[in-house]
Amino acid sequence: MTRGSVQLAPSAEGANSIITLSQLPESRRAILIALKQRGMATIAQLAEEMKITGEAVRQQLLQLHREGWVEASVEHREHARTGRPATTYRLSAEGDHLFPKHYDALAVAVIDAISDEFGDNAVLRVLAHVADDRVQSYEPSLRDLPLERRVEALKNWYLADDPYMEIERVDGDFRLVERNCPFYNTAMRRPALCSVSVNALTRLLGVRVEREEKFQNGDGRCIFRVRSSEPADANAPFSLERPTRPRSS
């Protein structure tokens, strides 16, 4: 595998984001930005910094907490006036992800560094290891299920209760249709990553799986075709999926 075989393609920054910071109301956005800059703060500290009342801050924090963007903790330190513990607020993990992240660039850099330092076979071994981990995490719950129920269970392949994945039946086969790849930015630049899903799904389902539509080909989705009548060896070695040409416009 060479970089030529996993060529760069245009990246769509934030393509897999459901909510961005800019989509939130200005008042809540200002509180999140203040918490990002401070690390943590009390209602009084936020009210002083933002020049609004403590009650206004409290109401916004309650809503942000309900939405999962912030978390609260009680500091059991003595306070000069009341002696009561103060509640401090900080961004939750979900809230922190509202701010720019570049995991995709880091993932591409790691893949390339492995290839440069140890050769293309090392990249294959790493991808195979990732596929093994995926198989081991799913296999126990799928072991005794018929194919149709295994396919249904793997609707959650990328995300629990995934609203962007659906299952279709076509000519006796199944199609897993994914409209929101959580690894979009990295996969667009290093499509070899997608071989992890193809290999792992094949092993878990026991039949051949191939991608018949791809984000990389401009299809706007990935479709994993589950070939029901083509048994596959669950112990077959990891392999890169065969490249396909983009559809003609």
What are the domain boundaries of the chain? 21-96, 104-231
Query: How confident is the model at residue 81, as a pLDDT?
Result: 55
What is the structure's pLDDT at 60?
94
* Tens-digit pLDDT profile for residues 91-134: 999 999 889 888 899 999 999 999 999 999 999 999 999 999 99
Q: State mean pLDDT over 207-235.
A: 95
pLDDT tens, residue by residue, 34-89: 999 999 999 999 999 999 999 999 999 999 999 999 999 886 554 445 566 789 99
Q: Using 50, 70 and 90 to split pLDDT, how confident is the model at 174? A: very high
Tokens for 147? 């194919």
Fold classified for 104-231: Muramoyl-pentapeptide Carboxypeptidase; domain 2 (3.30.1380)
Query: Alpha carbon of 222 to those of 114, 139, 185, 208: distances in Å?
Result: 27, 23, 14, 16
Higher pLDDT, 67 or 1: 67
Kindly report which listed range (17-26, 71-80, 143-152, 164-173) carries the lowest average pLDDT score.
Answer: 71-80
Q: What's the rounded mean pLDDT across residues 229-245?
A: 87
Task: Note the pLDDT of residue 76.
Answer: 55
Provide mean pLDDT across the span 160-181.
93
Pairwise CA distance, residues 45 & 62, whole Å: 16
Q: What is the DSSP letter of 160?
A: T
Which CATH number is 21-96 given?
A: 1.10.10.10
Q: Taking the CA atoms of 227, 231, 235 and 237 in sequence, report the sign of the dihedral they define.
A: negative
Model pLDDT, residue 224: 97
Tell me which residue of 165, 218, 188, 163 sits closest to 13, measured CA to CA. 188
Contact 129, 138 (CB under 8 A): no
**Res 191 pLDDT > 90:** yes
Mean pLDDT of the chain: 87
CA gap 33, 27 in Å, rounded:
10
As a whole-number percent, the residues of the chain with pLDDT over 90 amount to 71
Q: What is the mean pLDDT of residues 184-202?
A: 95
Topology agreement, domain 21-96 and domain 104-231? no
* pTM exceeds 0.75, yes or no: no
Token pair, residue 145, equals 């299920």
pLDDT band at residue 180 using 50, 70 and 90 as cut-offs: very high
Question: Residue 157 carries which side chain, given as an amino acid letter?
Answer: W
Question: What pLDDT does 166 receive?
Answer: 95
| Rounded CA separation 20/2 (Å) | 35
Instruction: Flag whether pLDDT at 23 surpasses 90.
Output: no
pLDDT band at 9 (very low <50, low <70, confident <90, very high): very low
Contacts of residue 31, Cβ cutoff 8 Å, sequence gap at least 6: 46, 50, 57, 60, 61, 64, 70
Q: pLDDT value at position 20?
A: 79
